[in-house]
Amino acid sequence: LDKQQALRNLPSVHSVLSHSACESLLLLYSHSLVAKAIGDEIAELRTRCQSAKVEIDDDWYADVTTTLSILQSAKLRLSRRFGSSLQKVLNVTGVILHTNLGRAPLSGRALEAVNQVASSYSNLEFNIEEGKRGSRHAHVEDRICRLTGAESALVVNNNAAAVLLVFHEMGRSGEAIVSRGQLVEIGGSFRIPDVMAESGVSLVEVGTTNKTRLVDYEKAVTNDTKLIVRVHTSNYRIVGFAEQPPLISLVGMAHEKGLPVYEDLGSGALFDFESASVGDEKPVKHSIQAGVDVVSFSGDKLLGGAQAGIIAGKKEWIDRMKKNPLLRALRPDKMTLAALEATLIDYELEKYEDIPIVRMLLESSDVAMDRTQMVYEELLMQDKEFYPLEFALVEDHAQVGGGALPLLTLPTPAISVFAAGFHAGQVFRVMRSVPGTPIIARIVNEKVLLNLKSLLPGEEKMLIEGIRATAARLRKMV
């Protein structure tokens, strides 16, 4: 086909726009947006014709310049442009608290509470009984106190914000003593020493990486010491020849010297996972009972609620933090408070299984095995539909993730996916991009692994649909 001829024969925007097949698109988007998308598509075809040398491939031209083809491309443009960037995905990484995938899915009660509070006015800072201004912190404070045994509590945006606020209030213009074994980096460049510097606190390191004794702390106390800090080594453990003083002794020594103790608990469990034989995480209560003055922990790690930082402890300190000017910049939103309060109610009602994160952690490996087996059999049943994918059941383990319980592995089988002639990376990419819900898996030894421990109940069908679509896409790519 001659180039000039091809350019002349391109359809007009008007002709595509007035085609009956365009009607469905016009129901979804305004006339001007549809016209613009069609115009952009035709402009792109024009550019591609112009950049051709002399002749244009007839087959290609016939294929891409039909009204239907242009409409389809315009539809794709519009859905890319106006579809949400933030969207649901299927987590088959086997990592239960995956920070990149949004950490904790919320309980039903939490979802309902967010919906209620976000879709109408609320008493966020209004005391209904007294008919005057109230505090946004009041909605959750008593519940946190009952669940942790603390006298008082406060909620901020996340635990990083909590650490910042606590250091600012308790250690500012003075020294805080921390063990060298606990100078943690959490990820995303959040390092305890940097946060202390940012809060105007001088860090005094004591002990060594593996061993810190009570006397190390005692010897480091000076007139400038304001605070003894203990940091949960969330995402790592020092094992072997290692020692830290028991919490009780550390608190006893600090209080004898008139110093407060702050413990950054990281995950902060409200459920006693240790008693349920799931890992070695002590519940928050344990620290409060040991006499720690202030603790802080995340709302969306082991707690299984919304992103939040919870500060709990002695009333005198919490009251001071409530008046700290930084709090205004760190305070949580009403949706966060609604989700957090509802999750705390789940705990108070002992409806642990309603909280997805807690349920997944307590779920027996038999249950995870059964679900995996069920999906696996479904995939094998119609092998034509899933060609060229091949599946196998393999041993694997799920992880808690989110910097919690790093040594705990939960034996869970996985479905390994393999396609002759394709790299695992290609299969992985197609799984993320097929229509429907993106599937986020992981690659181990050149095979894509689907670990269903982190898949939510009821999502199995979506997973199978996504794999079916992946197979169809791969068949086109051969």
Question: Which residue has the closest beta carbon to ligand PLP?
Answer: 266
Of 217-225, 226-234, 352-360, 447-455, which part binds ligand PLP (CB under 6 A)?
A: 226-234
- Of 90 and 165, nearer to ligand PLP (C-beta) is 165
Q: Tell me: does residue 310 bind ligand PLP (CB under 6 A).
A: no
Task: Measure Cα distances from 318 to 150, 262, 311, 373 in Å.
Answer: 10, 12, 8, 50
Of 228-236, 242-250, 391-399, 459-467, which part binds ligand PLP (CB under 6 A)?
A: 228-236
Q: Tell me: does residue 186 bind ligand PLP (CB under 6 A).
A: yes
- Of 6 and 95, nearer to ligand PLP (C-beta) is 95
Query: Could you tell me the smallest distance in angstroms from the CB atom of residue 298 to ligand PLP?
Result: 3
Number of chain residues interacting with ligand PLP (CB under 6 A): 14
In this chain, which of 234, 244, 336, 412 binds ligand PLP, going by CB under 6 A?
Answer: 234
Task: Measure Cα distances from 329 to 122, 169, 210, 324, 339 in Å.
Answer: 21, 14, 37, 10, 20
- Return the H-helix or E-strand segment holding 227: strand 225-231
Q: Tell me: does residue 163 bind ligand PLP (CB under 6 A).
A: yes
Q: Tell me: does residue 292 bind ligand PLP (CB under 6 A).
A: no
In this chain, which of 94, 105, 309, 356 binds ligand PLP, going by CB under 6 A?
Answer: 309
Say if residue 245 is preceded by a cis peptide, omega within 30 of 0.
no
- Of 150 and 184, nearer to ligand PLP (C-beta) is 184
- Return the H-helix or E-strand segment holding 23: helix 23-28
Of 42-50, 139-147, 159-167, 210-218, which part binds ligand PLP (CB under 6 A)?
A: 159-167
Which tokens sit at 277?
Answer: 């034989």
Q: Tell me: does residue 298 bind ligand PLP (CB under 6 A).
A: yes
Q: Tell me: does residue 332 bind ligand PLP (CB under 6 A).
A: no
Cite the DSSP H helix spans in 258-355.
284-289, 315-323, 327-330, 334-348
Q: Tell me: does residue 159 bind ligand PLP (CB under 6 A).
A: yes
3-state secondary structure of 115: helix
- Among 161, 97, 204, residue whose Cα is nearest residue 310: 161
- Of 231 and 342, nearer to ligand PLP (C-beta) is 231
Q: Tell me: does residue 231 bind ligand PLP (CB under 6 A).
A: yes
- Return the H-helix or E-strand segment holding 242: none
Of the chain, the end-to-end C-alpha distance in Å amounts to 28
Query: Could you tell me the smallest distance in angstroms from the CB atom of residue 61 to ligand PLP?
Result: 54
Task: Measure Cα distances from 355 to 116, 457, 463 in Å.
Answer: 19, 12, 22
* Beta strand extents in 256-408 (DSSP E only): 261-266, 294-298, 309-313, 389-394, 397-401
Residues 257-276 that bind ligand PLP (CB under 6 A): 264, 266
- Of 105 and 413, nearer to ligand PLP (C-beta) is 105
**Cα(105)–Cα(96) distance, rounded to whole angstroms?**
10
In this chain, which of 232, 286, 371, 453 binds ligand PLP, going by CB under 6 A?
Answer: 232
Q: What does DSSP assign to residue 93?
A: B
Of 25-33, 108-116, 152-160, 436-444, which part binds ligand PLP (CB under 6 A)?
A: 152-160
Q: What does DSSP assign to residue 281?
A: P
In this chain, which of 158, 199, 336, 454 binds ligand PLP, going by CB under 6 A?
Answer: 158
Q: By the criterion CB under 6 A, which residues form the site for ligand PLP?
A: 158-160, 163, 184, 186, 231-232, 234, 264, 266, 298, 309, 403
